[in-house]
Structure 1
Amino acid sequence: MPAIPTDAVRVADVAARIGGSVRGDAGRLVSGVASLASATISDLSYFSGNRRGIQPDKTSAGVVLCQSKHQDALPSGAVLILVPNPQSAFVDVLEWLFPRSEPTKCIDPCAHIHPTADLADDVTVGAHVVIGAGCRIASGVRIGPGCILGENISIGSDTELIARVTVMNHCEIGARCVIQPGAVIGSDGFGLINEQGRWRRVPQLGRVVIGDDVDIGANTTIDRGALDDTRIDNGAKLDNLIQVAHNVEIGAHSAIAGCAGLAGSSVVGKYCTLGGGVGLAGHLTLVDGVHITGMSMVTRSIRQPGVYSAGTPLDTNDNWHKNAARFKQLERIAHRVQALETGLNALRKNDEENL
């Protein structure tokens, strides 16, 4: 269903806002935004290039943001706003037409705040929030309903905890972060030793330290370090349902998609991306600029930037079973090939000696 802003706006005003040039009727009104597939004549959409399932020539959108090289792919009746980066420009339009509502600066009477907690005057605290002793909450922070903050926690300015976020003792969260519902920050890491067949828990004494401008998705868990800290650097973006184990380090501006799992003491460099379902074994390092495609299992450190993949693509069940059976024969086949190569080299050497 298309989203509808408070008031309709002219194409000329949209173009001026994002620095684009108009091809068509600059006076046309935009009263909604939508995808190319669902947009109507009164909606604005964007096209950033051919992608699977997108048919730009079939759209009914009245206004489309696009690059000049793609304008011929769109219907002649659409008004176009030509920009260098349509997707980024579309986000600019969304932020303009649908600004985030500013909450009323207040503390809900149902919240429980320890007397030693230090909150800035304009902090917003929702219903049933618990804030422990020694917490330091900076200006503009918004703490949504049901959040629980332990003791001696620091939260930087303009950070928002949406709802039901749990932050355990001594953790630090930077400025302008957004943490989605159900996230748990600073729970004990999975630190165990085996003594004569029985598991013994190792005390987890480190913290979680999160930089500025970090996003953390719903139900993502970030464990505290065992002795040193678990660290998430500035600008990192974590999707929903990610497990970050103790002593993991995630570099600045890296992005990790949903259901990824990072085992203890793994290090992810700056500007890395991990696709959905990626698994990192513990005690390994990815250098800056490494990109791991979805569902890959990483079992060794990666020392060169680039794109890496693992796993087998989806196939019919019959073909998969045949290939799985062949996988079991790879070791034997490798030995046979090696033996054949050794034999051929011996024959070649013998022929050369007889010439």
Structure 2
Amino acid sequence: MQGQSFTLAELAELTGSELSGDGNLVIDSVAPLETAESGSISFLANPRYRRAVATTRASAVILPMDMRASAPAVPAVFSNNPYLAFARVARALNPQRPAQPGVDPSAWVAPGAYVDPAAEVAPHAVVHNESRIGAGSVVCSGAVIGVGAVLGADCVIGPNVTIAEGCQLGDRVQVSAGAVIGADGFGFAQDGERWEAVPQLGTVQIEDDVSIGANTTVDRGSQGDTRIRQGCKIDNLVQIAHNVEVGEHTVIAACTGISGSTRIGRCCIIAGSVGIAGHLNIADGTTFTGMAMVTGNVREAGVYSSGIPAMPAQDWRRSAVRFRQLDAMARRIDALEKALERMNDDNNEHTGP
């Protein structure tokens, strides 16, 4: 994938890295160490792949600072964070396609909607009354912008995304294909054996620079609003229930589910398939590893884990049998401890002064 080109010196300046070698080299693409060709730049972040640097055909490599003393012959830029430097280089070489201003003839824009002249509305998109599309924003094919919804500047709303009624997005928000922002929360009141829907009257408020992955759902609040704070990055297939608040710069990996009215702190890391119960408070800077089950408040930052790693089926079946025996085993151990305590007391009485 190619876009623009830069000299190696320009890329070093762009990323705040230290240049080693010919700064006039022209770089026009990024590629892995093993498959790179002339004109490409690669990066090394994991020491296990250090040998590949010596044989790469890349024109240049982004390397960690601790490799300066053993720098390879290939031109390089040295960074304290090679992966971040690579991300910035890749983005510079392959900039996001800017909006193509205008409304496609096959799109439907309600008379009461406002689309900024610098925004793009692609084929078969639908923009309902009282909604607003900000400058430089792109509404891709098949997307639906609900009544009264607001998009800030430079947003990208992917194909077949739904931004439901009244939801508000800040600037530079990206929502990938198939995501639904503002679905009704899962709220039902029980009437005997029947369930009656509780109206979901709130909205979703998404702040600037948020990224939301494909087929993720963010439910509207039941009365107040669901809030995704500035800079959050949310992966594909994530479920965020009504009235959840996700703090600034928190990242959430795929298949995680967050139940209603939970508050996630800022700068948290939530790995894949984590389940978080409702009405909880999670401290700033908390990390949950994959498949963790969170059932209580987390008041102190740290790394939290649960779940059982995969093991051979025969070992798992044997362990599962033991699980069912744990209660009886605990009672027997308690009884043995009490019996041992009595024996010690008896011995002390017989051996006393």
Same fold (TM over 0.5): yes
Residue 327 of structure 2 aligns with which residue?
331
Matched, 1:270 2:266: yes
Q: SS at 2:102's partner residue?
A: coil
State how far apart, in whole Å, the 2-side matches of 1:167 and 1:247 are. 17
Asked whether the equivalents of residues 71 and 80 of structure 1 are also in contact (C-alpha less than 8 Å), the reply is no
Residue 316 of structure 1 aligns with which residue?
312
State how far apart, in whole Å, the 2-side matches of 1:56 and 1:5 are. 28
State how far apart, in whole Å, the 2-side matches of 1:29 and 1:136 are. 42
- Percent of matched pairs sharing the same residue: 37
State how far apart, in whole Å, the 2-side matches of 1:62 and 1:71 are. 17
Asked whether the equivalents of residues 33 and 43 of structure 2 are also in contact (C-alpha less than 8 Å), the reply is yes
Residue 33 of structure 1 aligns with which residue?
30
Q: Which of residues 73, 97, 104 is equivalent to 1:101?
A: 97
Q: Which of residues 58, 63, 67 is equivalent to 2:60?
A: 63
Which has the larger displacement, 9-18 or 229-238? Answer: 9-18
Matched, 1:45 2:39: no
State how far apart, in whole Å, the 1-side matches of 2:337 and 2:69 are. 57
Asked whether the equivalents of residues 220 and 239 of structure 1 are also in contact (C-alpha less than 8 Å), the reply is yes
State how far apart, in whole Å, the 2-side matches of 1:100 and 1:127 are. 19
Matched, 1:186 2:182: yes
Residue 11 of structure 1 aligns with which residue?
8
Residue 251 of structure 2 aligns with which residue?
255
- Residues 346, 67 of structure 1: alpha-carbon distance in 2 compared, 3 angstrom cutoff: same
State how far apart, in whole Å, the 2-side matches of 1:39 and 1:335 are. 63
Equivalent AA in structure 1 for residue 52 of structure 2? K
How many correspondences in the alignment?
348
Deviation for aligned residue 1:5 = 4.3
Asked whether the equivalents of residues 14 and 93 of structure 1 are also in contact (C-alpha less than 8 Å), the reply is yes
State how far apart, in whole Å, the 2-side matches of 1:62 and 1:342 are. 73
Residue 336 of structure 2 aligns with which residue?
340
The root-mean-square deviation of aligned C-alpha atoms, in Å, is: 2.0
- Residues 4, 176 of structure 1: alpha-carbon distance in 2 compared, 3 angstrom cutoff: closer
Deviation for aligned residue 1:179 = 0.7
Deviation for aligned residue 1:259 = 0.9
Q: SS at 1:329's partner residue?
A: helix
Q: Which of residues 156, 159, 163 is equivalent to 1:160?
A: 156
- Residues 210, 26 of structure 1: alpha-carbon distance in 2 compared, 3 angstrom cutoff: closer
State how far apart, in whole Å, the 1-side matches of 2:18 and 2:297 are. 47
Residue 290 of structure 1 aligns with which residue?
286
Q: How does 1:164-175 map to 2 (within 5 A)?
A: 164-175=160-171
Residue 198 of structure 1 aligns with which residue?
194
- Residues 36, 336 of structure 1: alpha-carbon distance in 2 compared, 3 angstrom cutoff: farther
Q: Deviations over 1:35-85 (max 9, x none)?
A: 2333245431111233xxx422034144211123135677x3322211221
Deviation for aligned residue 1:127 = 1.2
Q: Which of residues 90, 93, 110 is equivalent to 2:86?
A: 90
Contiguous gaps of at least 5 residues in structure 2 = none
State how far apart, in whole Å, the 1-side matches of 2:224 and 2:24 are. 60
Asked whether the equivalents of residues 290 and 304 of structure 1 are also in contact (C-alpha less than 8 Å), the reply is yes
State how far apart, in whole Å, the 2-side matches of 1:10 and 1:175 are. 31
- Residues 150, 15 of structure 1: alpha-carbon distance in 2 compared, 3 angstrom cutoff: closer
State how far apart, in whole Å, the 2-side matches of 1:42 and 1:121 are. 38
Deviation for aligned residue 1:25 = 4.3
Deviation for aligned residue 1:99 = 1.7
Deviation for aligned residue 1:221 = 0.8
- Residues 335, 78 of structure 1: alpha-carbon distance in 2 compared, 3 angstrom cutoff: farther
Equivalent AA in structure 2 for residue 47 of structure 1? L
TM-score, normalised with respect to structure 2: 0.91
Q: Which of residues 113, 117, 120 is equivalent to 1:121?
A: 117
Deviation for aligned residue 1:16 = 3.4
Contiguous gaps of at least 5 residues in structure 1 = none
- Residues 162, 66 of structure 1: alpha-carbon distance in 2 compared, 3 angstrom cutoff: same
Asked whether the equivalents of residues 283 and 300 of structure 2 are also in contact (C-alpha less than 8 Å), the reply is yes
